[in-house]
Amino acid sequence: MLKKGDIILLLVIVLGILSAVFFGREDAVSLSNTSGIPVDNIGITAIIKKNDKVIRRINLTSLNKREVINISGVHKATIVAEKNRICFLESDCPDKICVKTGWLSQPGEIAVCLPNKIIIKLEQDKNQNVDGVVK
């Protein structure tokens, strides 16, 4: 027969395990967001960095209208984001490699404007196929 003390003990065990599991998860989620910018975990996120600083994060999967981002600096660049894709539309840098790279749509893809020091990269938080591509 269960005594009063046994029931309290059981409750403590169950609560303890549940809270451990729960807080464990909470921890993981908040830690993965070191930059403090909220990210949607589902789908593909485009990260735009200039001089290694994140200037924009856009969830391409949930984007429903075309977005134009103008970046000033020594050279000017225009980035266009649409549902599921993003690219350098224009840049007044000399080689235009960034524009020639075209649309990015797959996680892991990268477009770089070296003269402008701007990078766009696509990330998927879950089930990413590869960690990087050598070229």
Partner 1 sequence: MKNNRILIFLFFLIASFYLNGCSKSNESNNYVEKESFQMGTIISQKIYGSNAESSANKIIKRLNSIEENMSLNINTSTLSWINTNSGESQVFHVNDDIYNVLSAAKHFSELSQGAFDITVGPLVKEWGVFTDDPHVPTQSRINELLKLVNYKSIEFDPEKKTFRLPIKGQMIDFGAIAKGYAADEAVKICRKDGIKSAYINLGGNVYVVGNKPDNTPWKIGIQNPRAADGKYIGILRISDKTVVTSGDYERFFVKNGVRYHHIIDPRTGWPSNSDLISSTIVTDSSISADALSTATFVMGLNKSKELLKKLHGVDAIFITKDKKVYITENLRRYFDFQDESGEFTYVEKG
By the criterion CB under 8 A, which residues form the site for partner 1? 5, 9, 12-13, 16-17, 20-21, 23-24, 27-28, 31-32, 34, 49, 51-52, 94-95, 101-102, 104, 106, 108-112, 114, 117, 119, 129-135
- The CB-of-8 to partner 1 minimum distance in angstroms stands at 9
**Residue among 24 and 65 whose Cβ is closer to partner 1:** 24
**Residue among 52 and 64 whose Cβ is closer to partner 1:** 52
- The CB-of-56 to partner 1 minimum distance in angstroms stands at 14
- Residue 46: CB atoms within 10 A of its CB come to 25
18 conformational bin, left if phi > 0, alpha if psi -120 to 50, beta if neither? alpha
- The CB-of-35 to partner 1 minimum distance in angstroms stands at 9
| Phi and psi angles of residue 103, each rounded to the nearest 5 degrees, phi first | -75, 140
Structure tokens at 124: 């998927």
43 conformational bin, left if phi > 0, alpha if psi -120 to 50, beta if neither? left
Query: Strand, coil or helix: what is 102?
Result: coil
- The CB-of-59 to partner 1 minimum distance in angstroms stands at 18
